Amino acid sequence: MAEMRDPKETGAHVNRVASYSIEIYERGQEKEGIDEKEIAGKRDVLRMAAMLHDVGKVAISDVILKKPAKLTEDEYSIMKQHTVLGAELFLNGHSEFDKAAMEVSLNHHERWDGKGYPGSRGCNDRLTLGGIF
Ligand SMILES: [Fe+2]
Ligand SMILES: [Fe+2]
């Protein structure tokens, strides 16, 4: 589905994002001294959530998603909404997967230096940063 919707969202990309996510998660948890059994319990949930990181792009127009040229500032602002729109898909779910998928969708373009998006300003009352991992 991801490949059909966005030519840049290949199966290889989706798998790469999932693998990086797992690697970062495992190293971080090990460093914190978290038990291997507990780490393993969330690993598959994170893998599936990471594979769906760009699911919010289903709500972005093809005109923007498949534009071969550089996006205008306004188009880029719309594109950035895929994080919030993806997170909202999982808002009413109660499973660990729903919470993980919401967190990953919302935060996957955040950066360590704070220059990513959507940032706290991009969130609304129902979406909050921080979470289960
Ligand atoms: Fe994305
Ligand atoms: Fe992506």
- Determine the pLDDT at residue 121: 58
- Determine the pLDDT at residue 5: 77
For residue 16, the CA-to-ligand 2 centroid distance in Å is 10
d(CA 107, CA 101): 10
Least confident segment among 25-39, 87-101, 109-123: 109-123
Q: Are the beta carbons of 133 and 101 closer than 8 angstroms?
A: no
d(CA 12, CA 125): 34
Domains along the sequence of the chain with CATH: 2-122 (1.10.3210.10)
- Catalytic-labelled residue, pool 8, 31, 57, 70: 57
Task: Give the model confidence (pLDDT) of 88-109 as tens digits.
Answer: 999 999 999 999 999 999 999 9
57 flagged as catalytic = yes
Burial of 1-30, coded b for 16+ CB within 10 Å and e otherwise, reads ebeeebeebeeebbeebbeebbeebbeebe
For residue 54, the CA-to-ligand 2 centroid distance in Å is 5
Higher pLDDT, 123 or 23: 23
Closest CA to 85 of 32, 24, 25, 127: 127
User: Which amino acid would we find at residue 9?
Assistant: E
For residue 84, the CA-to-ligand 2 centroid distance in Å is 14
Share of the chain above pLDDT 70, in %: 89
For residue 51, which ligand has an atom nearest its CA? 2
Q: Are the beta carbons of 105 and 55 closer than 8 angstroms?
A: yes
For residue 31, the CA-to-ligand 1 centroid distance in Å is 28
